[in-house]
């Protein structure tokens, strides 16, 4: 997983979420007076409300774009919760809040309540702060276990085939999966640029250069923005083997490019070398 690559996105989502909640707070009379020491005009409160919801929407779009739909929405909700909790605990320490208003004296009750001492107040704040810290730590630990989508990893390959640009990556960076008949299989993902998809009819992938137009390899399946294919790997696969990507345009034109196996799937190359060494030792 490439956490450093995604750190900027996570911090940006958190910062934009905090800014969105700040704008929404300014849109309310109570919190605006608390944050600014005065009330905002109705027009400015309306603008703050619109800006707040727009910022939260921007943080959601950012999360989905950086991490994918499922993971992005889940992590966005997590950062949203942390941003809201941060503001909750920040409000009592806000430097420009108005002075406390004097409250009318209440009538004494028959049974006097236990007085809340400064020591108890501090204890409650320490407990609340500890719970917030534990929430953030738990969320960050869960975040560290989240897999970055293959096409957004640092090892994803950027290239061109004919007039089209693409991003290519193996779905799993580990060894290939051995299925029935001891055939090693490997799944790859492919995404073309948004303006390219309308000109592409089909894409194929195979190990070694296709010998004819009838043997282009396995066809990519799935949505046009995230195609995927699982191909068998021959036992002769080694570091200088090539994956050939063939793309057929809607005009019938065929374009091809070769990708070195040790660049795309280094763990797969190591696995095949270990298999050959094991067989040689026997």
* 87 and 160 fall within a common domain: no
Write down the pLDDT at residue 40: 75
- From 144, 176, 201, give the residue that closes a domain: 144
- From 110, 144, 178, give the residue that closes a domain: 144
Which residues of the chain are modeled with pLDDT < 70? Answer: 1-7, 34, 37, 92-118, 121, 125, 128-129, 131-132, 135-147
* Helix ranges restricted to H, the chain: 3-26, 29-36, 42-67, 69-90, 118-144, 261-264, 266-281
* 161 and 230 fall within a common domain: yes
Q: Does 162 map to a domain?
A: yes
Q: Does 113 map to a domain?
A: no
* 156 and 271 fall within a common domain: yes
Q: Taking Cα atoms as reference points, which of 147, 259, 155 lies closest to residue 203?
A: 259
| Alpha-carbon gap, residue 65 to 69, rounded angstroms | 8
Write down the pLDDT at residue 5: 45
Given the structure tokens 């007085």, which residue do they identify?
A: 115
Write down the pLDDT at residue 2: 41
Total number of domains constituting the chain: 2
Is 20:79 a contact under the CB 8 Å cutoff?
no
DSSP per-residue codes, 185-208: EEEEEEEE-TTTGGGEEEEEEEES
Here the CATH number for the domain that contains residue 196 is 2.60.40
* 158 and 263 fall within a common domain: yes
- Let me know if 113 is exposed, middle or buried by CB neighbors in 10 A (0-12, 13-18, 19+): exposed
Q: Does 119 map to a domain?
A: no
Helix (H, G, I), strand (E, B) or coil at 40: coil
* 174 and 62 fall within a common domain: no
Is 149:71 a contact under the CB 8 Å cutoff?
yes
Q: Indicate the pTM of the whole model.
A: 0.58
Write down the pLDDT at residue 233: 94
**Which residue range is the domain that position 32 belongs to?**
3-98+128-144
Q: Does 46 map to a domain?
A: yes
| Alpha-carbon gap, residue 228 to 220, rounded angstroms | 5
| Alpha-carbon gap, residue 204 to 8, rounded angstroms | 35
* 136 and 186 fall within a common domain: no
Q: Does 120 map to a domain?
A: no
* 195 and 235 fall within a common domain: yes
| Alpha-carbon gap, residue 87 to 1, rounded angstroms | 31
* 74 and 173 fall within a common domain: no
Write down the pLDDT at residue 119: 72
Radius of gyration of the chain (CA): 29
Is 1:148 a contact under the CB 8 Å cutoff?
yes
Helix (H, G, I), strand (E, B) or coil at 209: coil
């Amino acid at each position: 997983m490439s956490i450093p690559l995604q750190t900027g996105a996570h911090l940006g989502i958190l910062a934009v979420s905090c800014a969105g909640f700040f704008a929404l707070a300014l849109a309310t009379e109570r919190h605006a007076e608390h944050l600014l020491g005065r009330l905002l005009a109705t027009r400015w409160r309306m603008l703050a409300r619109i800006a707040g919801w727009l910022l939260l929407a921007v943080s959601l779009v950012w999360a989905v774009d950086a991490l994918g739909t499922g993971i992005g929405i889940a992590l966005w909700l997590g950062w949203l919760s942390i941003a809201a909790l941060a503001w909750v605990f920040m409000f009592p320490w806000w430097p420009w809040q108005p002075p406390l208003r004097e409250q009318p004296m209440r009538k004494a009750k028959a049974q006097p309540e236990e007085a809340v001492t400064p020591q108890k107040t501090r204890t409650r704040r320490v407990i609340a702060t500890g719970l917030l810290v534990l929430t953030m730590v738990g969320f960050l630990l869960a975040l560290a276990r989240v897999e970055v989508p293959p096409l957004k990893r640092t090892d994803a390959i950027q290239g061109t085939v004919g007039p089209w640009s693409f991003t290519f990556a193996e779905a799993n960076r580990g060894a290939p999966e051995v299925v029935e008949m001891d055939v090693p299989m490997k799944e790859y993902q492919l995404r073309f640029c948004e303006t390219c998809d309308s000109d592409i009819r089909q894409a194929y992938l195979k190990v070694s250069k296709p010998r004819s137009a009838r043997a282009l390899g396995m066809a990519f399946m799935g949505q046009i923005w995230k195609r995927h294919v699982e191909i068998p790997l021959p036992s002769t696969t080694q570091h200088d083997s090539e994956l050939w990507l063939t793309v057929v345009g809607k005009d019938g034109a065929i374009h091809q490019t070769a990708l070195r196996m040790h660049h795309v799937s280094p763990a797969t190359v190591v696995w095949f070398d270990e298999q050959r060494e094991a067989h040689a030792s026997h």
